[in-house]
A and B are shown apart, each in its own frame.
Chain A
Amino acid sequence: AQSVSQHNHHVILSEAASLELGCNYSYGGTVNLFWYVQYPGQHLQLLLKYFSGDPLVKGIKGFEAEFIKSKFSFNLRKPSVQWSDTAEYFCAVYGGATNKLIFGTGTLLAVQP
């Protein structure tokens, strides 16, 4: 079955610290991978996506993620976080055969000024 796991449920960082949020998936076929962000009181927004090609993808607001096929991972990174990055981050995986977009449990990031 297709599944997504995010190991960090709650992360607290100081401004300018580096960020890495883990995302692992289980699915044997071709996948499309996404990171979404949900700021307090707002709806989900796409941060970045991977479909094919360069496994290092860059998204908005300085975020990037690396697809490592051998590890079934798609970790999200940002070199220097800001207070405005405080939000919940969701990794999502689409499996071609299942035709479903499945979300991870989310990681709540709190950035302290």
Chain B
Amino acid sequence: GAVVSQHPSRVICKSGTSVKIECRSLDFQATTMFWYRQFPKQSLMLMATSNEGSKATYEQGVEKDKFLINHASLTLSTLTVTSAHPEDSSFYICSAPLPDGVFSSPLHFGNGTRLTVT
């Protein structure tokens, strides 16, 4: 079964509004979660690393004020796309490693969120 739950799976919003995407680790605690963005027919681009209890680490070129990440608990990380524009339309995927070390185990991925901004 799924070990990482992502919600919503699909969202359509109007330009200028904000959208929150949740990523939950099921049955395990995740001090670190990763947020990726996948454009059509392209690979996953790492946007940021979410760290429980501290600020997220953003990749170069990712606007931290636009993509707000909060990792308030050991099982929940949220990504808020603020003042969304059509160019933010994409597939957003979160992932988390099992707690035996960041990469001693593979990442488990959520099912992704398809964001469409009209």
Interface residues of A (CB under 8 A from B): 32, 34, 42-46, 49, 51, 90, 94, 96, 99-106, 108
Contact = CB atoms under 8 A, between A and B. Distances in A.
Interface stretch (B15-23, B76-84, B108-116): B108-116
B112 A103 contact: no
The 9 A-B pairs with the shortest beta carbon distances in the complex, nearest first, are A44-B109, A46-B106, A105-B43, A94-B103, A103-B44, A43-B111, A103-B43, A106-B43, A32-B103
A66 B36 CA distance: 27
Contacts of B107: 46, 101
Interface residues of B, number: 20
Contacts, number: 42
Nearest to B104: A51
Contacts of A96: 103
Nearest to A94: B103
Nearest to B4: A43
A34 B106 contact: yes
B103 A101 contact: yes
